[in-house]
Chains A and B, each alone.
Chain A
Amino acid sequence: MNDTQETILKVEGLTKHYGGVHALQDASCEIRRGEHVAIMGDNGAGKSTFVRQITGVEQRTAGKVVFDGREVSFPGPLAAREAGIETVFQNLALADDLDVPSNLFLGREKVLFNLGPFSILDRRGMRKATEEGLMRTGVKIPNLNNSIRNMSGGQRQCVAIARTATFPSKLTIMDEPTAALGVQETAQVEEIIRTLKESGESLILVSHNMRQVFDLVDRIIVFRRGRIVANLNKEDTDGQDVVAYITGAKTGAEYAGAA
């Protein structure tokens, strides 16, 4: 089988130490093109750390990342995005004092005239694209011109999600995208994720919500104390099984001795 055709992301021995804290140890896994994968694990298991190493927000201590057939080492999140990775970070990465269109296009503003750093913003274009993007993803924001600061946690989260869903990508990463959302809004986000599946985009979904994970993804990777302890096809497992891995009651055969 042709590796570059089938695999969108391949991670080998990914390791991150914060001083003495071994937040991520020797993590290896593969995501196939179009596949939706969940990452589960207790608080502090290293899930967000894993996301930050892949997206270039931080520089890894060790390990190899192959994205879209190329070994990559993104110097920053912009490079990851340009390569085709869209991310909803756990902290959302929004600028509180800016309005919705500014946040949607933060770091990749549409411009009318290119004058380097002094390029003139295409404000109308960004506003229109924002309206369309929100419409497409079904996210409702009362007033686009309000600064994000004045919005509820859920609304902010929706803006962050709309930001990734508005732009086409090869891999979408969502770090607990429904953590603060109500029932309806969670359903909406899950709908967005299903749309991604239909259009063949790969997804990494970090979530604590067992039902959601079993509803949406093909495979579940379990983190525990900075290590991957299980890599399970949805068909071969169930909620209880996953919980056993998360709590450490059970360790995958191939990961014996890991945790």
Chain B
Amino acid sequence: MSDTAHGVGGLTFDAKKRSVPTELNVFLALILIVVIFEILGWWMVDNSFLFNTSDRIDTLFNIQRIKIMILQFSIIGIIAIGVTQVIIMGGIDLSSGSVLGAVAMVTMSFAQASEVNGNPNPRALFLEQGWVDLPVLVPIMVGLSAGALAGFINGFLIAVTRIPPFIATLGMLLSARGVALWWSNGNPLSFPTESYKIIGAGMMPVYIFLFIAVLFGLIMKYTVYGKHTYAIGSNEQSARMSGIKVERHKILVYTIAGILAGLAAIVLSSKQETAQTGMGVMYELDAIAMAVIGGVSLSGGRGSVLGATIGMLILGVILSGFIFLRLDAYYQEIVKGAIIVGAVVLDQWRQQRAMAR
């Protein structure tokens, strides 16, 4: 078919008017932000944001800063990918931070070592039961299952009892935090086994994030699962009339979001070698922010894992940029809030423009 084939209604198709992919725009925004921080860096603190200026190290880029930046956000990034597919389906998940907290507690209680420096582990929850020094597969399976359960409950409430996703996951936000507190009566759980520590050691969180990002990037694009997720987010009624089992699919998508929150809990508790009841507070908002900044539309149907990943980098760059410029922490929160609102406004604007074309 030629590019200017006469369409139905004698309309001609203008190949030039094809829209630029959102991901490209988001990527350009990322570069722009990096450049801004580079300029601000020389102006405000007389240093480079991106490049290495120390004579003792001979790398071009400031690897240390980039590493810390990516490491800091890759764990929230794992959650963000789960949240991204939920938002693409036209839903929302406010519970991911709390689910992370609850799962971290539960998982850590099955990952603890029996002894610390020759003494019995003072923080071991199940020392009496003898559930210590378990093979690493046990806490991993427990964590993923607990995450899946939380996600399944979300999905079930939303799909079957038809509670709005906002309310259902808000309930889970509160309940899961309650579970985190109740599990060990508020006590932190520490001293995991050596094999458990490996999961989140060094740059492992980044590799795990990359693996999940690539995996879900492919799933969303090349599988029936992805197609149905976009279709439901695009028009739920149409999806249903086209024979998609909408309810079943919703439960599946929320369950997978829960599993990813569980995975993030495992990685984070392993990295920090401890689990505390306050873990993951507000992570859900960061995750949603990453998705929205990355061009995932809150009204569903549009966006991608790649976009959300770039969104994660943008958020990471901005927050570490603020630290680099030695600005106070509360500026971060203010700016983060403004960025999220700005991204949503941009999305609305994009939508209106798409309508008007």
Q: Chain A: residues with CB nearer than 8 A to chain B?
A: 57, 76-78, 81, 89, 91-98, 102, 106-109, 111, 115, 117-121, 123, 131, 139-144, 146, 149-150, 152, 154-155, 158, 182, 184-185
Let me know if B212 is at the binding interface, CB within 8 A: no
The interface centre, meaning the residue of A109, A117, A150, A154 with most chain B CB atoms within 10 A of its CB, is A117
Q: Which residues of A contact B238 (CB under 8 A)?
A: 91-95, 106
Known: A95-B231, A140-B7, A155-B8. A119 touches B241 (CB 8 A): no
Q: Are B8 and A98 in contact (CB under 8 A)?
A: no
Q: Are B224 and A119 in contact (CB under 8 A)?
A: yes
Q: What are 11 pairs between A and B in contact, CB < 8 Å? A: A93-B241, A106-B243, A107-B242, A107-B243, A108-B243, A117-B223, A121-B222, A140-B7, A142-B13, A146-B18, A154-B9
Q: Are A96 and B9 in contact (CB under 8 A)?
A: no
Let me know if B357 is at the binding interface, CB within 8 A: yes
**Closest beta carbon of chain B to A85's beta carbon, Å:** 11
Return the 4 tightest CB-CB contacts between A and B, nearest first.
A142-B13, A78-B243, A107-B243, A97-B301
Q: Are B234 and A96 in contact (CB under 8 A)?
A: yes
Q: Which residues of A contact B302 (CB under 8 A)?
A: 97
Let me know if B239 is at the binding interface, CB within 8 A: yes
Q: Which residues of B contact A95 (CB under 8 A)?
A: 230-231, 234-235, 238-239, 242, 301
Q: Are A111 and B224 in contact (CB under 8 A)?
A: yes
Q: Which residues of A contact B222 (CB under 8 A)?
A: 120-121, 123
Q: Which residues of B contact A118 (CB under 8 A)?
A: 219, 223-225
Q: Chain B: residues with CB nearer than 8 A to chain A?
A: 1, 3-13, 15, 18, 219, 222-225, 227-228, 230-231, 233-235, 237-245, 249, 252, 301-302, 354, 357
**Per a CB cutoff under 8 Å, which of B7, B233, B245, B249 touches A142?**
B7
Known: A121-B222, A141-B7, A142-B11. A98 touches B234 (CB 8 A): yes
Assembled-state Cα–Cα distance A118/B218 (Å): 10
**Closest beta carbon of chain A to B291's beta carbon, Å:** 16
**Closest beta carbon of chain B to A90's beta carbon, Å:** 10
Q: Are A77 and B241 in contact (CB under 8 A)?
A: yes
**Per a CB cutoff under 8 Å, which of B11, B224, B230, B241 touches A117?**
B224
**Per a CB cutoff under 8 Å, which of B4, B237, B245 touches A93?**
B237
Q: Are B240 and A97 in contact (CB under 8 A)?
A: no
**Per a CB cutoff under 8 Å, which of A57, A98, A123, A185 touches B230?**
A98
Q: Which residues of A contact B9 (CB under 8 A)?
A: 152, 154-155, 182, 184-185
Known: A96-B234, A97-B302, A155-B9. A119 touches B244 (CB 8 A): no
Q: Are A154 and B8 in contact (CB under 8 A)?
A: yes
Q: Are A119 and B7 in contact (CB under 8 A)?
A: no
Q: Are A155 and B7 in contact (CB under 8 A)?
A: yes
Assembled-state Cα–Cα distance A77/B237 (Å): 11
Known: A97-B302, A143-B13, A154-B8. A77 touches B227 (CB 8 A): no
The interface centre, meaning the residue of B15, B224, B252 with most chain A CB atoms within 10 A of its CB, is B224
Q: Are A94 and B235 in contact (CB under 8 A)?
A: yes
Q: Identify the closest chain B residue to A76 (Cβ).
A: B243
Q: Which residues of A contact B6 (CB under 8 A)?
A: 140, 142
**Closest beta carbon of chain A to B307's beta carbon, Å:** 14
Known: A118-B219, A152-B8. A102 touches B240 (CB 8 A): no
Q: Which residues of B contact A102 (CB under 8 A)?
A: 227, 230-231
Assembled-state Cα–Cα distance A182/B6 (Å): 14
Taking A98-B230, A121-B223 as given, write out 16 further A-B residue pairs in contact, using a Cβ cutoff of 8 Å, ordered by the A residue number. Answer: A76-B240, A95-B239, A96-B301, A97-B234, A102-B227, A115-B223, A117-B223, A117-B228, A119-B223, A121-B222, A131-B1, A142-B1, A142-B13, A143-B3, A154-B8, A185-B9
Q: Are A150 and B237 in contact (CB under 8 A)?
A: no
**Closest beta carbon of chain B to A142's beta carbon, Å:** 3
Q: Are A91 and B245 in contact (CB under 8 A)?
A: no
Q: Are B5 and A142 in contact (CB under 8 A)?
A: yes
Q: Identify the closest chain B residue to A180 (Cβ).
A: B9
Assembled-state Cα–Cα distance A140/B2 (Å): 11
Q: Which residues of A contact B357 (CB under 8 A)?
A: 150
Q: Identify the closest chain B residue to A144 (Cβ).
A: B1
Assembled-state Cα–Cα distance A182/B230 (Å): 31
**Closest beta carbon of chain A to B226's beta carbon, Å:** 8
Known: A91-B238, A96-B301. A141 touches B225 (CB 8 A): no
Assembled-state Cα–Cα distance A236/B161 (Å): 52
The interface centre, meaning the residue of B5, B18, B222, B223 with most chain A CB atoms within 10 A of its CB, is B223
The interface centre, meaning the residue of A57, A120, A143, A158 with most chain B CB atoms within 10 A of its CB, is A143
